[in-house]
Chains A and B, each alone.
Chain A
Amino acid sequence: MVISNSFRQLGKYSLFLKRAFTIPDKWGISFRRTVMEIINLGVDSIPLVIIISLFIGAVITIQMQLNVSSPLIPAYSVGLATRDIVLLEFSNSILCLILAGKVGSNIASEIGTMRVTEQIDALDIMGVNSVNYLVLPKIVAFVVFMPVLVVFCIGTSFVGGWLVAMFTDLISVSKYVYGMQAFFQEWYVWYGLIKSLFFAFIISSVASFFGYYVKGGALEVGKASTNAVVSSSILILLFDVVLTKLLLQ
C-alpha cells in the first residue's frame, strides 16, 4: 500500500514537472517573475545564511580545537578541518536542510493558499498553464541563486572561525589562516556547488508540488507546508549520500 502510494506520488510529481517545464506563454512575464523570485527566495535568505554561517563557522573552529588538541597534530589542522567541513557538508547539505525549512515552507504555503482561495483555478480557467506560470520561475530562481548562497555561506563560515582565532587564545590567526590554505582541493568547492544545485531543485520543486495539490483549507495548507519540509529534507539526505558516492569516489 505504502509502496504503491509512493509510486503514485512519484508519477504525479513527474507529470507535475512535465507541466512546469514547458515553454512559457510570455517569456517577458516569466523572466520578470523569475527575477522577483530570486529576490523573494534567494536575496531574502542571505541574512539568515550569514547569521547561521557565522555562528556555525565559529562553533566548528572551537570544536575542532577542542578535539585536535594533541601535540602530535599540528595546530593549523583546526583551520584545515574547519575549511573541509564547511566546503564538503555544511555549506551545501546542512545549509539546504535549513533552507528547506525557510524556503520550502514559504513556497508550499504561498502556492497552497493560492489553491484554496481558487487563484490557481482562476489561472486555469483563463487558459494559463498555472504550474508553468507559478512553479517554473521559483525552481529556476532558486537553482540559479543557490550557488550565491553557498558562496556566502562558505565566506561567512570562514569569517566566523577567523573571529574565534582573533578574539580567543584557542588558535592563532596565522595558524588558522595557514590551515585554511593548506592542502586545498579545488574540487571540494565544485562538489559543494554541484550538490547545492540538486538540493535547490529538490526544495523548490517538492515544496511547489505539495502546495499545488492542497485540498481543503488553512489547516491543510499548514500540513502541506510541513510535509514539504519533511519530504525535501529526507530527499536531500538521500541525494547527499548518492551524490557524495558519485562525486567523491
Chain B
Amino acid sequence: MIEVKNVTKSFDGKTILHDVSAKFYTGKTNLIIGQSGSGKTVLMKSIVGLVRPEIGEVLYDGRDFLKMTDGQIKDLRQEIGMLFQGSALFDSETVLGNVMFPLVMFSKMGKGEMLDRARFCLERVNLESAENKYPSEISGGMQKRVAIARAIALNPKYLFCDEPNSGLDPKTSILIDELLHDITHEYNITTIINTHDMNSVLGIGENIVFINKGHRGWVGDKQRIFKTSNEALNDFVFATRLFQEVKDYIVTHGQDAPPE
C-alpha cells in the first residue's frame, strides 16, 4: 500500500497541493482524477519522487520515501514501474530492447533468461510479433503496451500510469484499461493511474481519489461515485450529457440493471 500524508507542494510561491492525504491499496486499480491543472500530476510526481514536497510523508508499505537515503531510493526504484503519458520509449532501442532495458540494468539474469522474461512480458501485452520494430514504427496504442511490458519487466510492486489513455481511440483505451486492471490483480500490484478519462473512472476505478484545486476533494470507488453529492466531483465526472444520463439511469435502476 502507498499512503500520502499531508503532502504540500509549491512552485514559485504558488501552492499546487494543499495538505493532501490519500491511501492507494495493493491489488487494486487506484485512480487519481481531477481537472487539468488540479494538481493530480504533481501528486503523482511527488509520490514517485520526480518532485519533492515541502511538507508531508510518502509511505511505501510504511517506508517514508522522503526520508530514504540515495541507496534506499535506488533499491525502491527497482520495485517501481511507470507508464508515461507519451510512453517514453527509448527511440534508439527496438521494442525488445526497451523491455529488456531494466533487466539489463538491474537484474542478475543471464542473457537467455532476460530474453525469455522480455518475451514473456511482450506476450502478456500481445505484442510478441513486434519485438524487432522500433518505437517510431508502431502505433500509439502499441507503444503504450510496450511501455506496460517494460514497466512490469522487473516484477514491480508499484505501478504508476500517467494518463495512459491520452491520444488513444476509445477502443484502444478500453484495451489498455483492461490490461492494467488484469495485471494489477494478476501480480497483486499497487497500481496508481492518473487520468481524466471518465470511461476509465467508471470502468476500472476501484479506489478513486479526486483532486480539486490542489485539495483532496473526494475518495471512493466507481459505485459510490454515482451517488456522491460532491458538487465539484459531479461537475467534473458527469460534465457531458451522456454521462449525466448514465448516472440518472444507474441511480434509478441500479448498477446491475440491464440497459434499455
Contact = CB atoms under 8 A, between A and B. Distances in A.
B58 to A, nearest CB: 14
Contacts, number: 46
A71 B91 CA distance: 63
Given A26-B104, A29-B104, A118 B86 contact: yes
Contact of B106 (A119, A121, A122, A127): A127
Contacts of A125: 48, 50, 77, 80, 82, 160
Interface of A: 25-26, 29, 117-119, 121-122, 124-128
Interface residues of B, number: 23
B236 interface: no
A127 B79 CA distance: 10
Contacts of B106: 25, 126-127
B171 interface: no
Contact of A25 (B48, B86, B105): B105
Contact of B77 (A29, A117, A119, A127): A127
A128 B105 contact: yes
A117 to B, nearest CB: 6
B84 A124 contact: no
B104 A119 contact: no
Contact of A127 (B74, B85, B86, B160): B74
Contacts of A122: 82, 84, 88, 90
B217 interface: no
B102 interface: yes
A124 B50 CA distance: 8
B237 to A, nearest CB: 27
A126 B102 contact: yes
A127 B84 CA distance: 15
